[in-house]
């Protein structure tokens, strides 16, 4: 059932869900939404499973023509969405009619917005996920970002009887200066005490070399003890690699599964959502936490997602 036709593709729009898990050993990245919370919230606002496939737009969003009456929700970075040129709210169920046009304004805060449709986007599952992985040509829309003229299919589902809205105090904020929790290691011992101090006390800036694979940061160089390379080993999203020039590289969701630079620290899982919303010129400061502290926050984050559907405001 075709739901949308793409009138303008936007800067970089892909189909994503919560990722492709269990295939790292074969070199297959996790992929999935750069901001899990926002994607899950968009889905819940139209009564989808939180892992349903959505569109992830980057900075300049797409323009879509609706071919079928349905419900949608838009979450993530503040992007001033419009239906037929009229402003509509984010973080809320929106009813759309056949021939409505959906467009996005300039992204004010954050970097990525999510558009969920009632029932989810119907593209083929590849290794258990609908996430697009452009480097590997994995599906989504032909393994690539959207192009003008593409069509987006949904599932045939019954219309929503109720509408939902996220309570405003639960809408995440995406400031221009982030404080991000990290756990030091695994290769923190390849850096001098001075290097570690530099890493934890400086503000780093996201450069324009930032995409779904990783972000290069600018800021004070982090000093290695001696060598700046290791025999390549495993990478996960959140890993912070420091090559010879001392400037950190943040590994994001589409990154390759192995790498040869030492990792000074790894961003905690809940904070990765925040980093996934960082656009170029955003500042990042890293704060060291213990594994125990991180796991407390992890449990709180998991509980938040688990109970999110109950906390949404509901109206007939």
Nearest to other proteins of 49, 296 (CB atom)? 296
Nearest to other proteins of 176, 296 (CB atom)? 296
Give the bridge partners for 233, in sequence order. 259
Q: How far is the CB of 126 from other proteins (least distance, A)?
A: 5
Residues in 255-274 at the binding interface with other proteins, rule: CB under 8 A: 256-258, 263, 266-269
**Is residue 22 involved in binding other proteins (CB under 8 A)?**
yes
Question: Rounded to whole angstroms, how far apart are CA atoms 221 and 248?
Answer: 8
Residue whose token pair is 């809408």 = 171
Nearest to other proteins of 23, 155 (CB atom)? 23
Residues in 190-249 at the binding interface with other proteins, rule: CB under 8 A: 230-234, 236, 238-239
Site size with other proteins, rule: CB under 8 A: 42
Residues 276-315, one symbol each (x = binds other proteins by CB under 8 A, - = not), give ---------------x--xx-xxx--x-------------
CA-wise closest residue to 130 among 63, 189, 55, 190:
55
Cβ–Cβ under 8 Å, residues 54 and 43? yes
DSSP string, 206-248: EEEEESSSEEEEESSPPPBSS----S-EE--TTEEE--TT---
Nearest to other proteins of 90, 222 (CB atom)? 222
Q: How far is the CB of 96 from other proteins (least distance, A)?
A: 33
DSSP string, 172-184: PP--SEEEEEEEE
Cβ–Cβ under 8 Å, residues 11 and 82? no
Nearest to other proteins of 23, 80 (CB atom)? 23
Report CA 290 to chain centroid distance, whole Å: 25
Strands 283-288 and 177-184: parallel
Nearest to other proteins of 179, 234 (CB atom)? 234
List interacting residues with other proteins (CB under 8 A): 21-28, 126-127, 135-138, 183-187, 230-234, 236, 238-239, 256-258, 263, 266-269, 291, 294-295, 297-299, 302
């Amino acid at each position: 059932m075709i739901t949308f036709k793409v009138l303008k593709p936007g800067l970089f729009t892909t189909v994503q869900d919560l990722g492709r898990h269990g295939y790292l050993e074969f070199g297959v990245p996790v992929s999935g939404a750069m901001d899990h919370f926002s994607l899950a919230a968009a889905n819940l606002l139209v009564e989808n499973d939180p892992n349903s496939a959505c569109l992830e737009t980057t900075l300049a969003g797409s323009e879509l023509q609706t071919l079928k009456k349905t419900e949608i929700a838009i979450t993530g970075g503040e992007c001033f969405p419009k239906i037929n040129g009229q402003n509509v709210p984010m973080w809320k169920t929106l009813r759309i009619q056949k021939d409505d046009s959906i467009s996005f304004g300039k992204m004010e805060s954050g970097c990525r917005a999510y558009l969920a449709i009632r029932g989810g986007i119907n593209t083929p599952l590849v290794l258990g996920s609908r996430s697009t992985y452009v480097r590997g040509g994995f599906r989504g829309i032909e393994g690539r970002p959207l192009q003008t003229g593409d069509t987006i299919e949904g599932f045939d589902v019954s219309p929503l009887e109720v509408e939902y809205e996220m309570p405003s105090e639960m809408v995440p904020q995406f400031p221009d200066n982030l404080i991000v929790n990290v756990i030091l290691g695994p290769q923190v011992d390849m850096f001098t005490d001075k290097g570690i101090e530099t890493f934890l006390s400086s503000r780093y800036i996201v450069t324009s070399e930032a995409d779904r694979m990783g972000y290069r940061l600018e800021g004070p160089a982090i000093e290695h003890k001696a060598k700046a390379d290791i025999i390549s080993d495993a990478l996960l999203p959140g890993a912070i690699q420091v090559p010879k020039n001392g400037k950190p590289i943040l590994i994001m969701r589409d990154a390759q599964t192995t790498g040869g630079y030492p990792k000074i620290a790894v961003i905690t899982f809940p904070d990765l959502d925040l980093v996934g919303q960082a656009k170029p010129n955003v500042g990042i400061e890293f704060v060291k936490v213990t594994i125990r502290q991180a796991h407390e926050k992890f449990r709180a984050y998991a509980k938040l997602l688990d109970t999110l559907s109950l906390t949404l405001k509901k109206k007939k």
